[in-house]
Amino acid sequence: MHRIILTRLAQGVLTLLLASIIIFGATEILPGDVAEAILGQSRTEEALATLREEMGLNRPAIVRYFDWLGGMVQGDLGTSLATKRPVADMIESRMWNTLRLALLAAAISVPLSLALGLWSAMRAGGRVDKTLAMTTLALIAVPEFFIGLILMKVFAVELKWLSASANTRPYFDFWQNARALALPVATLSFAVLAHMMRMTRSSVINIFTSPYMEMAALKGLPKRRLVVLHALPNALSPILTVIALNLSYMVSGVIIVETVFGVPGLTRLLVDGVTLRDIPLIQACAMIFGAVYILLNLLADVLSIMANPRLRYPK
C-alpha cells in the first residue's frame, strides 16, 4: 500500500510539473501582452519596446519559465505587471472569499448528497427514488447562473429574507454574514449536489448485486445495517473520486457564482488578470487551481486505497 501511495504522489508531482508547462505555454500564446494593455491604443513602437525591456518580456521564454518555476517553488509568485503589487498579496486578499464559499458549500452538499444517495438506493425503484432522480436530473440540466437568479428573485427580491449580494464585513454580526452568504452557498451546493448523489446511489446499488450482500440479506440483516456497514464502505472508491472532482470545481469553477453574487474571489481575480494581460497573476492563479485539483484527486486516490482491502493487502 505504501508503494502505491508513493507512486500516486510521484505522479501528482509530475502532473503538476506538466501543468506548469501547459500554463506557461498557454499564457505565452495569448494575443498581445501587458505592455500593450498598459500603453493602450496610443502606444508607439519605441515606447512599447522600452516597456517590454523594463518588464523583462524580451527575454527568451525558456529563461522566463525556469525563473518563474524557481520562484513558485520558493513561494515567490512574482509581481503583478499591471499594479506592481506582489501577486501573493493580491491572491491572499481574495483567496479566503473563494475558500469560505467552497468550504461552506462542501459542508452542506457532501453529507446531504451521501444521505440522499443512500436513501435513494434503499428505496430503489420506488417513489422516493424516482422523485430524487428527476430532481437531480433537473439540477444537472439547469445552469448555475439560472439557479442563482431564481434563488435571488425568490428569497432576496420577493421575500426579502436574504441578501442578493455576498457583501460580508468583519464588523458584521453572524446573522448578517449568514444572510449575505446563504444564496451563493446554496447555488454552489445545488450545482454539485446532483452528481455526488447519483454516484452514491449507483455505486451502492451496484454493491447490492454482489453475492455476499445477497447472502447477508438472506440471513436477515436489516437493510439499514446492510447499507451503512457493508454497501457504503465497499462503494467508497468511485464516490470519493466524484466528491474530489466536485470539491475542486468548487474552488476553481465558481466564476459564475462569484459574478452573479458579487463575490470578490480568486476566479474573478483571474478573469481580471486575463483582461489586463497580467501574466504573473494569471500564471499564479492557474497554478493554484491546478494544485488544488491535483491535491484533491491525490487525496481521493489515497482514501480509496485505504478503503479497499484488496489494495491494502495485495497478494
Nearest to 286, CA basis, from 21, 79, 76, 74: 21
Residue 108, domain member (yes or no):
yes
The number of residues making up the chain comes to 315
Q: Is the pLDDT of residue 253 over 80?
A: no
Instruction: Report yes or no: 117 and 198 within 8 Å, Cβ to Cβ.
Output: yes
Domain CATH for 137: 1.10.3720.10
Residue 307, domain member (yes or no):
no
**Cα(285)–Cα(247) distance, rounded to whole angstroms?**
17
Within this chain, do residues 8 and 128 fall inside the same structural domain, yes or no?
no
Within this chain, do residues 116 and 183 fall inside the same structural domain, yes or no?
yes
pLDDT on residue 148: 86
Q: What is the SS3 string spanning 219-288?
A: CCCCHHHHHHHHHHHHCHHHHHHHHHHHHHHHHHCCHHHHHHHCCCCHHHHHHHHHHHCCHHHHHHHHHH
Number of domains in the chain: 2
Q: Which amino acid is at 292?
A: V
Within this chain, do residues 159 and 62 fall inside the same structural domain, yes or no?
no
Within this chain, do residues 193 and 289 fall inside the same structural domain, yes or no?
yes
Q: What confidence tens digit (pLDDT) does each residue in 147-193 have?
A: 888 888 888 888 888 887 777 777 677 788 888 888 889 988 888 88
Within this chain, do residues 107 and 255 fall inside the same structural domain, yes or no?
yes
Q: What confidence tens digit (pLDDT) does each residue in 301-314 have?
A: 888 777 766 666 65
Spell out the residues 6+ positions from residue 133 whose beta carbon is closer than 8 angstroms to its own. Answer: 120, 198
Within this chain, do residues 100 and 48 fall inside the same structural domain, yes or no?
no
Residue 80, domain member (yes or no):
no
Q: Is the pLDDT of residue 224 over 90?
A: no
Residue 224, domain member (yes or no):
yes
237 vs 116, which has greater pLDDT?
116
Within this chain, do residues 246 and 293 fall inside the same structural domain, yes or no?
yes
Torsion 195-201-206-212 (CA) sign = positive
pLDDT on residue 243: 86
User: In this prediction, what percent of the chain has a pLDDT beyond 90?
Assistant: 4
pLDDT on residue 256: 81
Within this chain, do residues 96 and 62 fall inside the same structural domain, yes or no?
no
pLDDT on residue 261: 85
Q: What confidence tens digit (pLDDT) does each residue in 103-152 have?
A: 899 999 999 999 998 888 888 888 888 898 898 888 888 888 888 888 88
Within this chain, do residues 57 and 93 fall inside the same structural domain, yes or no?
no
Domain containing 145 equals: 88-300
- Rg of the Cα trace of the chain? 24
Residue 78, domain member (yes or no):
no
User: In this prediction, what percent of the chain has a pLDDT beyond 70?
Assistant: 93
Q: Is the pLDDT of residue 315 over 60?
A: no
Residue 98, domain member (yes or no):
yes
Q: Where are the alpha helices (DSSP H) in the chain?
A: 2-28, 34-39, 45-55, 61-73, 87-122, 127-141, 144-151, 174-208, 211-218, 223-225, 232-234, 236-252, 255-261, 266-276, 279-307, 309-312
Dihedral in degrees, nearest 10, Cα atoms 47, 50, 55, 56: 140
**Cα(300)–Cα(139) distance, rounded to whole angstroms?**
25
Q: What is the pTM of this model?
A: 0.80
**Cα(100)–Cα(254) distance, rounded to whole angstroms?**
12
Instruction: Report yes or no: 233 and 212 within 8 Å, Cβ to Cβ.
Output: no
Within this chain, do residues 251 and 181 fall inside the same structural domain, yes or no?
yes
Average confidence score pLDDT of the chain: 83
Dihedral in degrees, nearest 10, Cα atoms 159, 160, 162, 166: 130
Within this chain, do residues 172 and 218 fall inside the same structural domain, yes or no?
yes
Residue 311, domain member (yes or no):
no
**Domain stop point among 73, 99, 115:** 73
Q: What confidence tens digit (pLDDT) does each residue in 16-64 have?
A: 999 999 988 887 776 666 677 667 666 777 877 887 777 777 778 888 8
Residue 205, domain member (yes or no):
yes
The three three-digit cell numbers of residue 74, written as one number? 520558493
Within this chain, do residues 95 and 129 fall inside the same structural domain, yes or no?
yes
For the segment 235-248, the average pLDDT, to the nearest whole number, is 84
pLDDT on residue 211: 84
Q: Is the pLDDT of residue 1 over 80?
A: no
pLDDT on residue 112: 92
**Cα(49)–Cα(174) distance, rounded to whole angstroms?**
53
Q: What are phi and psi of 86, to 5 degrees?
A: -60, 135
Instruction: Report yes or no: 160 and 117 within 8 Å, Cβ to Cβ.
Output: no
